[in-house]
Amino acid sequence: MNMITKGTRIVILTGAGISAESGIQTFRASDGLWENHRVEDVATPQGWNANPQLVWSFYQQRRRQLLDVEPNPAHTALVDLENYLDNFLLITQNVDNLHGRAGSKQLIHMHGELEKLRCEQCNHIEIMMDRDHLGEELLQCTKCEGRLRPHIVWFSEPPLQLLEIDDALSKCDVFIVIGTSGNVTPASTFLHIAKFEGAHTICINLDPPENVYFFDEFIQGKAGEILPALVQRWIEK
C-alpha cells in the first residue's frame, strides 16, 4: 500500500503483540494462560467475586510492571503517523499505558486501563499509580469508601466506547491490525465492518492470525521492526 496522504482516514487496532518488544508478555490463547494464570480466574467478574485478593494481586503486579517498561519503536511510529494524518484513531485492546506514554492522543482503550481503578459502588474512576496504590492490600474509593476494582474489561463485560469505534470504522479508508491474534470478539468483527464499508485492510503480526485470509495485505514480522520503516515510507513520500 503506497497511497497514503494526509487526508487518508486510518483506524488502527493493536493487541498485546505491539507491547511484546517492550517486555510485556502476550496472552497465550493456545493454552488460555495469561502470565501463568487461567483467564477464568483473573479476567472474569466471577473470578473477582470468588477471590478478590488473587485478582487484585494479579493486576497490581501488572500495574507495577508498567514502571519498568518503556514504549518501543512500534508505539512511536504510530505517534508519527497520527501527527502526519488529519484523521486518525488508535484503538487498543491493551491495558498497558505504552501508547499514551509514547504520545498517542486519539486513543481508545477498549479493554480498560491498568493505570485506573474504579469504584464498584459509585463507578468513580481514578488514575492511581503512586507507591501507596501499588501494594497488595485492596483499596477504597476516595469518594464513597466502596471497594475499588481494576478498571479492566473482563470477559463477559462490554468493551468501552464501541459506538465511537463503530463510527470510525464505518468511515475509514484504511484499517490496520497490529499484534493481535484476532480471536477476541468483538475486536475480530471490526475487520468485517471496515471491509464492508470498503476500507483497505492490513495485518501486521508475528504469526499469521486465524483470520489472516480476510485481510487485503499481511505483513509478517515484529511490529517494532516493520512499523517504523512503513510509516517513514508513507510520510516521506
Q: Which position among 8, 60, 94, 201 is part of the footprint of ligand NAD (CB under 6 A)?
A: 94
* Residue 168, helix vs strand vs coil: helix
Nearest Cα neighbor of 54 from 69, 40, 64, 33 is 40
> In terms of CB distance, is 85 or 223 closer to ligand NAD?
223
Q: Report the C-alpha gap between 80 and 87 in whole angstroms.
A: 13
- Of 16, 89, 193, 194, which one interacts with ligand NAD (CB under 6 A)? 16
Catalytic residue of the set 75, 111, 151, 200: 111
| DSSP code per residue over 15-68 | -THHHHTTTPPPPBTTTTEETTEEHHHHSSHHHHHH-HHHHHHHHHHHHHHGGG
Q: Do the Cβ atoms of 55 and 42 come closer than 8 Å?
A: yes
192 binds, among Zn ion, ligand NAD, none (CB under 5 to 8 A by kind): none
| Footprint on residues 149-168 left by ligand NAD (CB under 6 A) | none
What is the largest distance, in Å, between two alpha-carbon atoms of the chain? Answer: 55
Annotated active-site residue 124? The verdict is no
Cβ distance to Zn ion smaller for residue 144 or 229: 144
Q: Residue 60 or residue 181: which is nearer to ligand NAD going by CB?
A: 181
Cβ-based nearer residue to Zn ion, 9 or 124: 124
Grid coordinates representing 81 are 503517523
Find the binder of Zn ion among 9, 124, 147, 195 (CB under 5 A). Answer: 124
Q: Are 112 and 144 in contact (CB under 8 A)?
A: no
Choose the stretch contacting ligand NAD; rule: CB under 6 A; options: 2-10, 127-135, 211-219, 221-229.
221-229
- Binding interface with ligand NAD (CB under 6 A): 15-17, 19-21, 24, 26-27, 29, 34, 93-96, 111, 179-181, 184, 205-207, 209, 222-224
Give catalytic residues, as residue numbers.
111
